[in-house]
Every structure is written in structure tokens, then in C-alpha cells.
């Protein structure tokens, strides 16, 4: 049976390579799924044949990771020198030739030109052909071990193609390392941001941030769903004659190497490559921010050596921020769950950085006034480093006479209520949170979300349909739904209706801190809700708490306190809470916390750096378990700074300036053991 399992694994790996690396599938999706299901079944029946590099392990796990282990790089991950000028590229090439003693055209200095993919750097370690470790750049000397998450990336081979290894006698199969970028394709980036927008979560600014954030998630199953990809640009631990040879070697073993890479035999060819991709990059499925130039000969690279920060044999040419000129057709206004009004510029469609842009956020009234926008204006739209489109400039020379000036609205576009603007904030709000339709729909969507009440089966479309038909007006109405009412709705059969009713009933088991978060009180996120639940223990106690009692809770400032008081002062909100309680929703219960001693009672401790004996999260739990409080930043109220390796210099400097006592990991453990 073990032989059959290995045969299936090899067959699936081959199909994965054709599909994800070569983009040329050899079997249908249905046939591939059948092979995978067969392997899953055989592995389940034969647990002794488990292999962490089996294709079945790419789905990830729901088990949360603690802190990522810090790993020292076997070879430092250096940064490259940057230039935005073609003239500086020519100067670099001239210096390279001079340093190598090249004085005429017969002595070639070949340069490999590679697209600089805009993602997050990764180091992939293989031993005997197996992926054993994946490490982020970190500070260049050490990074985070994210192997568990990287295993979910489908175009990274968990095993190198064995039958090609023998073709390369220089392979050190016991210790080879590939360097590359982890990327989130445009299509996935837009899907992810659309999903976050529906949930009123902060949008990712660009695919690079999204890829980096995804790679550091604690849940590898979530990582698997985001469809990251990789591009390899370097090989270490293997001797070849040229950089281009090493890339071809990597590709033959199944590594994802870009087909856009080109070996240039002169500076003129380099310039042709730059000119071509300066425009053509707009059509790529992933983000790029420049071109990397590397001397091809590895022997010449050794002769050129390094400066203190970067190699002399390589340089990065950065593209100018891309922008496009298009027409402003209109400005519309969106109402969010919290009542915040977001103005949106509706544009004549234009291609920008690989996508068709039709809309751009105008953020708030101040931005509109600063741009002096008029309907019909020709405007410059830019992405640059921030991929969410924004209008950066107006071409006033093309403004039509009599064009209507854009003036921020003063009434809610949905319910007509007069807008308000809180002092010190840029946004305008609709204060009618009880009966403004988008706010109520948004509150219900937030209430049923996984991290809140976790009510499955109620997506945004279903909620909108129930609200528009008058079956629900607020979150409490969810508990009045019956199978009969739901089954009569479009796209909802009796089985789906029963599942929704069961999920609503099950939500009564959700603990109090999540109920508090689910209410959608402004500024009360997951962490704040846990701290409030731990401090007050019930909705009743929280609803009558005074401002000074609220701000006495760790990390609860005046803004959060005022928002809570405002919420509970509204009788309609109190009636909603009472209705939810009447349906059986939990309105009390403290967050469970182990209490081992009061040795740290009254102390606020800030943690910085990395540690040998325990993770940062473990130390945070220990601090609370012994009566202390965790501080997020060094202030005059900080009692101790627990300092580990690689501690941030800013925190250290501030602690010394304020006279905060700094203790080591050993001293801290001795305090607890005393």
C-alpha cells in the first residue's frame, strides 16, 4: 500500500507542476480531484504513511500557531541598491565593466534582467529534495519560520522533481536554498478586498501588504484559501557557471521561475528590456514595481563583491508610480455599518496597473475641497505603492465652462438624515443608526459574522432580501425567524431555512464577550470586547458604568468610553439588548483567565524583542495570570520593560528616557519563581 500511495503522490505532483508552474494542465479538474480524493482515502487508512510534504497537506489546518519561530538565515538576505533613472542604470553598468577590467565590446558582461515582483521575500530550504523550511526576510539576518503556511502555496513544490536531479551533477541535494517572492495575484487581491469591504474591515493597501499579512496568519487553512503564488529568482548552495543556468536548473526541478527573465549581452539590450516592460507590465496578472539587473557570471559576481549593505553586481531599477488620465463622471456616497459616509468618484473606465479602474475613493470632504473637483474634470488617477485608486491631480486646462463643482452632501443619501461630523475626525456620519437601511443591514451582517455570533447561511444578499421584505428590522428579529417564513423566500428551500434557524438558535451559546463585539458598538472590536467583559462581567454592569470606571480598564481610552456611554444612553439600544436577552443570548460571563498569583499586581509591563524560553504571547498570558497588565507601548505609566533579543531601539530609548526599569527574560522568570 505504501508503494501505491507514493505512486499517487508522484502523479499528483506532476499534474500540479503542469497546472500551477507551466500553466498547461494535462488532465481535467474532475480527474485531478478524483486522484486527490483517492490519495486522501489511502492516507487516512494508512496513518503510518504520513508525509508532511504530501500533496494532501496543502489545504492547511485550523489549528492556530503561537508566535512564529525566529530562524537565522544560512546566507544573509541583503537588499539591493535602487535607482529610478535610466542614466543611473548606465552608470552602474559602466562601473561594473570598469571594476571587471572590461575595456572593449569583445569582452562581454552579460546582465540578467528580471521583473521585480512586488511581494514578500521568502527563503525556501530543501534537503534531499524535500521542502523542510520556509523563512521570511525578517531583518536580513534572521526571519520567521512560516513553513506551515508556505506548504499551502500550490506552485511551490513540496518535493523537487526527482528524475531531473540526476541531470545536474553539481546539485548538493542535502542543502539547497531558493530565494523568491510570495505574491497575491491581482484577481485574488480584488476578491479579498471586496470581501473585506462587505464586512467593513480595513482594506489592504496593495497586494504586497496582503501577501505579507497572509503569510503571517495563525490559521494555515485561511492562508490556503487566499491562493498565494511564488516566483523564484535565486539559488544558493549549488555551483553553476551563471545565474541564468541556476534559474534553468531550478525550473527543471519544478520551481516557479518567471518566463519573462532575459539574458542581455549589452547595455542597449538592457534598455530595450526596461522600455518594453515599463508599459507591458500593466498586463501582468501580478504586481511589479521594477526590474532587477544582475551580472550573469557567478565568477564575475564574486570578483565584484559587496558593499556594506548590498551587492555591487546587482541593482534594482524602480518604475515610476503609474497614473492615468480619465474623466470624472459623477460622485456617489456610500453609507457604512457605522454610519460613516464615503464619497466615491465614478470614472470613465481606464486601465491602471493590471486592472480596469472605474471608481476611486475620495475619502472625505476635505479631500474633495482640496482637489477643487468639478463634474466632467479630467483627473489623474494613481496607484503607485498604494493600490487602492486615488485621484491625485486635476487637469484644470481641460475643465469645461460652467462645470458643476463637487460639494460634499449634508444629508444621508439613504435616509435623508442631517449628517454630523465629530470634532477631530475627518468623516461625516449619519446619526440615524436605528432606521438607516444600509447601517441596519451592515449591523446585521456584522452580528452574524464568524467572529461574532457565527450564524451560518445568512450572507449579505439573504440579509438584504429579509430586510427589504420586512422580515427583519434589527438583529433581534433574527430570533423570530421560522422555517415557514424562510422557506417561502427566493433561493431558500426548506433545508436551507432549517439550517439558518438552527444556527440562530445555536448562537445563544456564544460567550458574552463575542455578543458584546457582535453589537457593533463603535470602537469596540474583539480585543476591547474581551477586556470589557473581563472587567464588568455583564451587560447590565457595563451599561451603567461611569466614564472613570470605563477608562480604568486596560487600553480603554476616553473615545471608547464615550462611545459606550452614548450607546447605552439610547433607550432603543437598551430595548434591543433586552430583546436579545429574552431570546436567550448570553449577557453575562467573564473571560476565563488563569490566576496563579498576585506577584505582578499593579504593574504594567511592556514586552519587546524575541525570547528563548517562551513566546511573547505566552509571556502576556503569564503577566495577566500573576495579576499584571500588558502595555502596548512605553509610557510614563509603564512599570517594567521586559526586554528580549532584537528589541526595538525606539522602545529602549523611550524607557531609558522615562526611567522605566528594564529587565531580562531571566530576571522576569526569577520574579515569578521567587
Short-list 376, 358, 233, 373, CA closest to 294: 233
d(CA 306, CA 319): 24
- Specify whether the CB–CB gap between 38 and 31 falls below 8 A: no
Asked if 586 is an active-site residue, the reply is: no
- CB-side neighbour CA atoms (13 Å) of 39: 23
Q: Is 93 helix (H, G, I), strand (E, B) or coil?
A: helix
Listed in sequence order, the residues at least 6 apart from 543 whose beta carbon sits closer than 8 Å to its beta carbon are 568, 574, 577
- CB-side neighbour CA atoms (13 Å) of 539: 25
User: Phi/psi zone of residue 375: left (φ > 0), alpha (ψ -120 to 50 degrees), beta?
Assistant: beta
Short-list 130, 151, 68, 201, CA closest to 525: 201
Listed in sequence order, the residues at least 6 apart from 53 whose beta carbon sits closer than 8 Å to its beta carbon are 130, 131, 151, 158, 159
d(CA 341, CA 419): 9
d(CA 40, CA 34): 10
d(CA 172, CA 255): 16
Listed in sequence order, the residues at least 6 apart from 622 whose beta carbon sits closer than 8 Å to its beta carbon are 614, 672
Alpha-helical segments (H) within 281-378 = 298-304, 365-371
- Specify whether the CB–CB gap between 595 and 622 falls below 8 A: no
- Specify whether the CB–CB gap between 298 and 236 falls below 8 A: no
97-102: list long-range contacts, CB under 8 Å, 24+ apart: 99/303, 99/304, 99/312, 100/300, 100/303, 100/304
Helix axes 186-198, 207-215, angle to 10 degrees: 80
The radius of gyration of the chain's CA atoms, rounded to the nearest angstrom, is 29
d(CA 326, CA 347): 7
Terminal C-alpha separation, the chain: 56
d(CA 563, CA 524): 9
- Specify whether the CB–CB gap between 390 and 373 falls below 8 A: no
Among candidate residues 2, 41, 98, 116, the one labeled active-site is 116
d(CA 32, CA 26): 10
Cα 384–390–391 angle (5° rounding)?
A: 110
Which residues are catalytically annotated? 116
Amino acid at each position: 500500500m505504501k508503494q501505491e500511495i507514493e505512486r499517487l503522490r508522484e502523479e499528483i505532483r506532476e499534474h500540479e507542476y503542469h497546472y500551477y508552474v507551466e500553466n498547461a494542465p494535462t488532465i481535467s479538474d474532475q480527474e485531478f480531484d478524483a486522484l486527490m480524493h483517492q490519495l486522501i482515502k489511502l492516507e487516512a487508512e494508512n496513518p503510518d504513511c504520513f508525509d508532511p510534504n504530501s500533496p494532501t497537506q496543502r489545504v492547511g489546518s485550523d489549528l492556530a500557531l503561537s508566535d512564529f519561530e525566529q530562524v537565522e538565515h544560512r546566507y544573509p538576505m541583503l537588499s539591493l541598491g535602487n535607482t529610478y533613472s535610466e542614466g543611473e542604470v548606465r552608470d552602474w553598468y559602466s562601473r561594473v565593466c570598469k571594476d571587471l577590467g572590461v575595456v572593449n565590446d569583445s569582452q562581454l558582461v552579460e546582465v540578467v534582467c528580471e521583473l521585480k515582483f512586488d511581494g514578500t521575500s521568502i527563503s525556501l530550504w530543501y534537503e534531499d529534495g524535500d521542502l523542510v523550511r520556509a523563512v521570511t526576510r525578517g531583518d536580513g539576518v534572521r526571519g520567521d519560520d512560516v513553513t506551515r503556511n508556505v506548504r499551502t502555496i500550490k506552485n511551490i513544490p513540496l518535493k523537487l522533481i526527482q528524475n531531473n536531479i540526476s541531470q545536474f551533477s553539481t546539485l548538493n541535494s542535502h542543502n539547497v536554498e531558493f530565494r523568491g517572492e510570495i505574491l497575491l495575484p491581482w484577481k485574488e487581491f480584488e476578491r479579498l478586498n471586496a470581501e473585506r469591504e462587505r464586512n467593513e474591515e480595513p482594506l489592504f493597501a496593495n497586494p504586497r501588504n496582503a501577501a505579507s499579512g497572509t503569510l503571517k496568519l495563525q490559521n494555515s487553512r485561511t492562508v490556503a484559501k487566499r491562493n498565494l503564488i511564488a516566483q523564484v529568482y535565486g539559488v544558493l548552495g549549488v555551483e553553476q557557471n551563471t545565474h541564468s543556468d541556476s534559474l534553468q536548473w531550478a525550473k527543471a526541478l519544478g520551481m516557479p521561475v518567471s518566463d519573462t527573465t532575459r539574458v542581455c549581452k549589452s547595455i542597449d539590450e538592457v534598455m530595450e528590456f526596461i522600455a518594453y516592460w515599463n508599459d507591458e507590465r500593466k498586463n501582468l496578472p501580478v504586481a511589479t514595481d521594477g526590474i532587477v539587473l544582475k551580472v550573469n557570471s557567478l565568477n564575475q559576481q564574486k570578483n565584484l563583491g559587496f558593499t556594506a549593505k548590498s551587492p555591487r553586481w546587482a541593482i534594482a531599477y524602480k518604475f515610476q508610480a503609474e497614473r492615468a488620465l480619465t474623466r470624472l463622471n459623477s460622485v456617489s456616497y456610500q453609507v457604512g455599518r457605522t454610519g460613516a459616509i464615503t464619497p466615491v468618484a465614478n470614472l470613465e473606465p481606464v486601465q491602471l496597473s493590471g486592472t480596469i479602474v472605474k471608481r476611486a475613493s475620495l475619502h472625505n470632504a476635505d479631500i474633495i475641497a482640496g482637489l477643487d473637483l468639478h463634474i466632467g474634470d479630467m483627473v489623474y488617477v494613481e496607484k503607485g505603492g498604494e493600490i487602492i485608486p486615488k485621484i491625485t491631480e486635476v487637469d484644470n486646462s481641460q475643465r469645461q465652462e460652467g462645470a458643476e463643482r463637487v460639494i460634499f452632501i449634508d444629508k444621508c443619501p439613504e435616509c435623508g438624515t442631517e449628517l454630523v461630523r465629530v470634532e477631530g475626525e475627518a468623516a461625516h456620519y449619519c446619526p440615524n443608526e436605528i432606521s438607516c437601511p444600509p447601517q441596519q443591514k451592515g449591523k446585521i451582517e456584522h452580528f452574524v459574522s464568524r467572529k461574532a455570533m457565527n450564524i451560518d447561511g445568512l450572507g449579505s444578499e439573504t440579509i438584504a432580501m429579509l430586510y427589504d421584505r420586512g422580515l427583519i428590522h434589527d438583529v433581534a428579529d433574527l430570533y423570530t425567524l421560522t422555517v415557514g417564513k424562510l422557506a417561502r423566500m427566493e433561493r431558500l428551500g426548506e433545508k436551507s431555512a432549517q439550517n439558518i434557524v438552527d444556527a440562530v438558535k445555536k448562537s445563544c451559546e456564544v460567550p458574552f464577550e463575542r455578543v458584546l463585539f457582535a453589537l457593533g458598538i463603535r470602537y469596540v472590536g474583539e480585543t476591547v470586547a474581551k477586556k470589557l467583559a473581563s472587567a464588568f462581567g455583564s451587560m447590565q454592569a457595563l451599561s451603567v458604568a461611569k466614564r472613570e470606571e470605563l477608562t480604568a480598564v486596560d487600553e480603554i481610552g476616553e473615545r471608547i468610553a464615550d462611545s459606550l456611554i452614548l450607546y447605552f444612553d439610547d433607550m432603543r439600544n437598551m430595548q434591543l439588548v433586552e430583546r436579545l436577552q429574552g431570546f436567550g443570548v448570553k449577557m453575562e460571563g467573564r473571560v476565563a483567565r488563569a490566576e496563579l498569583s498576585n506577584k505582578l499586581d499593579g504593574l504594567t509591563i511592556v514586552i519587546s524583542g524575541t525570547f528563548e524560553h517562551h513566546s511573547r504571547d505566552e509571556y502576556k498570558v503569564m503577566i495577566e495570570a500573576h495579576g499584571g497588565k500588558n502595555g502596548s507601548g512605553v509610557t510614563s505609566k509603564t512599570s517594567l520593560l521586559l526586554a528580549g533579543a532584537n528589541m526595538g531601539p525606539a522602545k529602549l530609548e523611550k524607557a531609558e528616557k522615562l526611567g522605566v526599569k528594564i529587565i531580562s527574560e531571566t530576571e522576569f522568570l526569577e520574579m515569578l519563581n521567587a
